[in-house]
Amino acid sequence: MENLKKRILAESSVLSSNMLRMDALINHQVDPKLTMEMGQEFARRFAEEHITKVITVESSGIPAAYATAYTLGVPLVFARRKKTLIADPDAYVERVPSFTKGMVTDIMVSKQFLTAEDRVLFIDDIIANGDAARGLIKIIERSGATLIGLGVVVEKSFQAGGRTLREQGIRVEPLVRISSLDNGEIKFE
């Protein structure tokens, strides 16, 4: 998506050789028009897959996942990062490290929202090392649902996440691939 690349160059900042701040686009402020374009592109790429649910991890993945689910006309499910007082005690739970948050959290999905009959499209904002993605994939596998693929807004291809998931046979569809953040410069593949 050329528009997304232009916006990343104009509105993002490189924090280090492996950290990119995209608060103005997807992580803090959300541009609804751009987000809907992302969802439409993911929906186009997976249109023939008979998706029954879109899934993501809260919170930065929710806007793109919502736009995708809306376009496909299917429900959106998001894995919660914190337990609530009314959380399903029987939920699928997985402990995952977060690259950007620098901590380990539990993610959980209620068993009533993810079943063996589901054909699931996983949408995420950024993939770096892929730890959160692997955690949600484990939950999807335990539910018996079929993971159709992972649509990711930005893949940092210089980190192992996308590559290791592809090696496991998972279809990974990034809208944008960043090959380097060295010397404070964003380089796309």
Question: Residue 12 in contact with residue 24, Cβ under 8 Å?
Answer: yes
Dist. CA 11–CA 5, nearest whole Å = 10
Q: What is the pLDDT of residues 18-32, one digit of tens each?
A: 999 998 888 889 999
Which two structure tokens, joined as six digits, stand for 31?
């541009």
Q: Tokens representing 13?
A: 């900042």
Q: Give residue-wise pLDDT tens across range 121-175.
A: 999 999 988 888 999 999 999 999 999 999 999 999 999 999 999 999 999 999 9
Task: Measure the CA angle with vertex 42, ends 65 and 47; round to 5°.
Answer: 115
**How far is Cα 80 from Cα 182, in angstroms, rounded to an integer?**
33
Q: pTM here?
A: 0.92
Q: Domain 2-81+88-188 - what CATH class?
A: alpha beta
- Could you read off the pLDDT of 73-132 as tens digits, one per residue? 999 999 988 665 556 678 899 888 766 667 788 899 999 999 999 999 999 999 988 888
